[in-house]
């Protein structure tokens, strides 16, 4: 893993969060830069999927748009991962950072797969953010390699638990993050105790990367569905309670029995097609939400399996992902195959499906591909992030409003001009990953986002999100 090479700085990328125009930045480039001509006096935001890149142009990312930016990959793609809470405390902001991840691989053959436990340490700022701005004003700056050598390179320690199938979804228990649940493409949900591996990595302080072999281990518990699935979530209110949904509209809830195993309920009746995502309420231990290819979001009481409490027709196409806001528990976000992001106020949900077809409180049609993940920020109730099949990771701030006068003033100071059709709530755009699948906010490092794609992981912190 390491920092992307720093390209020529492109003017106009906003670095500070502001009211009004969206601050747009992109890894491997927010701007199209003409190699033959001087940059325009008033640069414009480059819009993925809308604006073209000419033969004499290239995209370069602006390092001042990030407080840090790192890339990393394993031998095989990981289409799902989760962040393992550590003992380093939080919220924390001082570089270098250390993060611990659990990820499931999608290998060429089933027996090559693993549940990968990773500790990524010495994640330095590099030439990003304020350092990038300072270096650009210094005629005697050192090159990237000499600075990396001075600060030290990031280090990955890896431990692996052998798997006999590809992993569709990985989730760590909030109360005991060394307990990891996996949804396999062999139609089994399994729970693993990764405490020994994580403790071993935490104690390792070698300056060189370690890549542990895949080692066999028995799961703590296993439950087989009739087919594979993707929906998986632990309750943050009821320790050890887990819900899983499969591609034949089955939902099962796991309840811990106090002896290191679980009792798994029968299927919950309601959805008419594949259950794509599940989210437990951040306030009530018996309440969860699910979304489905049948275009609905349903609210359940885990004690009642015969029918959901509420059903809402949420999108015109498959509803792929949902996220329940832990800081504003009446708020739910959803993303669909239609590329639409919608925000819902659960206080306005009713049992009348037809009445709720347009009851969302926010609707964004920015993405040009299916929304593949959505997650609310754990530190700011109005901020969330989405990823999409269009190759974009977008940070949104619902508290932002357009202010034409302030935008004009910022353009005069070399900020990029914001197109009228760009949503005012769009705060940051990150590019550069191929077939991006999932993103998570780090729960202990404000503003840090980790994303995974077929091309690997990105670990970064936008300069205009959270505190430095």
How would DSSP label each residue in 253-300?
A: EEEE-SSS-EEEPPPPP--SS-EEEEEE-SS-TTEEEEEETTSEEEEE
| pLDDT score, position 417 | 62
> For residue 307, what are the CA distances in angstroms to 217, 243, 271?
37, 16, 9
Percentage above 70 pLDDT, the chain: 81
Helices (H), 179-241: 195-203
Determine the 3-state secondary structure of 195 from DSSP: helix
Between 254 and 416, residue with greater pLDDT: 254
In sequence order, what are the residues at sequence separation of 6 or more whose Cβ sits closer than 8 angstroms to the Cβ of residue 60?
Answer: 7, 8, 9, 10, 28, 29, 31, 33
- Per-residue model confidence (pLDDT) at position 207: 74
Q: Closest Cα to residue 344, out of 330, 354, 355?
A: 330
d(CA 20, CA 403): 4
Short-list 356, 427, 345, 415, CA closest to 385: 427
**Residue 54 to residues 39, 45, 145, 286, 332, Cα–Cα distance (Å):** 14, 15, 31, 55, 40
Beta bridge partners of 162: 114
300 vs 18 pLDDT, higher one? 300
- How far apart, in whole angstroms, are the C-alpha atoms of residue 407 and residue 234? 42
- Read off the tokens for 294: 């049948």
> Where is average pLDDT lowest: 91-95, 161-165, 299-303, 349-353?
349-353
Residue 264 burial (C-beta neighbours within 10 Å; 0-12, 13-18, 19+): middle
Kindly give the pairing relationship between strand 78-83 and strand 66-72: unpaired
* Distance of alpha carbon 463 from alpha carbon 468, whole angstroms: 7
161-170 confidence digits (pLDDT tens): 999 999 999 9
Say what the pLDDT of residue 349 is. Answer: 81
| DSSP-assigned beta bridge partners for residue 161 | 115, 215
pLDDT at 163: 98
- Please, are residues 125 and 463 in contact by the beta-carbon 8 Å criterion? no
Per-residue pLDDT at 132 = 74
Mean pLDDT of the chain: 85
Structural tokens at position 130: 């304020």
Element (H, E) at 246: strand 242-246
Give me the mean pLDDT over the 360-364 stretch.
94
The pLDDT value given to residue 54: 81
Q: Are strands 188-193 and 221-224 parallel, antiparallel or unpaired?
A: antiparallel
Q: Are 434 and 455 in contact (CB under 8 A)?
A: yes
pLDDT tens digits for 279-322? 999 999 999 999 999 999 999 999 999 999 999 999 999 999 99
Whole-number pLDDT of residue 359: 82
Confidence label for 38 from pLDDT (cuts 50, 70 and 90): very low
């Amino acid at each position: 893993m390491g920092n992307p090479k720093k390209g020529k700085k492109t003017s106009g990328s906003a670095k500070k969060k502001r009211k009004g125009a969206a601050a747009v930045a992109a890894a491997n480039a927010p701007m199209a830069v003409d190699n033959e001509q001087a940059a325009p006096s008033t640069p414009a935001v480059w819009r993925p999927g809308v604006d073209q890149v000419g033969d004499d142009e290239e995209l370069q990312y602006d390092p001042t748009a990030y407080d840090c930016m790192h890339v990393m990959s394993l031998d095989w793609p990981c289409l799902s991962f989760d962040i393992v809470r550590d003992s380093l405390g939080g919220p924390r902001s001082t570089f270098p950072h250390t993060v611990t991840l659990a990820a499931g691989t999608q290998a060429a053959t089933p027996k090559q797969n693993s549940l990968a436990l990773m500790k990524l340490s010495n994640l330095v700022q590099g030439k990003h953010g304020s350092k990038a701005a300072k270096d650009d004003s210094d005629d005697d700056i050192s090159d990237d390699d000499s600075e990396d050598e001075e600060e030290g390179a990031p280090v990955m320690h890896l431990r692996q638990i052998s798997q006999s199938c590809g992993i569709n979804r990985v989730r760590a228990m909030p109360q005991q993050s060394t307990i990891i649940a996996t949804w396999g493409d062999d139609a089994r949900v399994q729970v693993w105790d990764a405490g020994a591996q994580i403790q071993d990595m935490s104690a390792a302080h070698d300056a060189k990367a370690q890549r542990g072999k895949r080692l066999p281990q028995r799961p703590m518990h296993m439950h087989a569905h009739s087919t594979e699935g993707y929906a998986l979530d632990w309750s943050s209110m009821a320790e050890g309670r887990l819900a899983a949904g499969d591609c034949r509209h089955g939902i099962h809830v796991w309840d811990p029995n106090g002896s290191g195993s679980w009792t798994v309920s029968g299927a919950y009746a309601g959805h008419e097609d594949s259950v794509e995502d599940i989210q437990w309420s951040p306030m009530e231990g018996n309440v969860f939400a699910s979304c489905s290819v049948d275009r609905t979001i349903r609210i359940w009481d885990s004690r009642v399996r015969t029918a959901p409490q509420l059903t809402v027709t949420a999108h015109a196409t498959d509803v792929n992902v949902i996220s329940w806001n832990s800081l504003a528990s009446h708020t739910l976000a959803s993303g669909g195959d239609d590329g639409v992001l919608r925000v819902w106020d659960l206080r306005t949900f009713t049992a009348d499906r037809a009445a709720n077809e347009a009851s969302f409180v926010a609707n964004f049609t920015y993405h040009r591909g299916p929304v593949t993940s959505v997650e609310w920020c754990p530190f700011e109730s109005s901020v969330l992030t989405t990823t999409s099949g269009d190759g974009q990771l977008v940070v949104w701030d619902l508290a932002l409003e357009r202010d034409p006068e302030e935008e004009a003033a910022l353009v005069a100071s070399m900020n990029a001009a914001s197109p009228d059709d760009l949503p005012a709530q769009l705060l940051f755009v990150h590019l550069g990953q191929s077939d991006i699948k999932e993103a998570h906010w780090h729960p202990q490092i404000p503003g840090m986002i980790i994303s995974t794609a077929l091309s690997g992981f990105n670990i970064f912190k936008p300069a205009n999100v959270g505190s430095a």
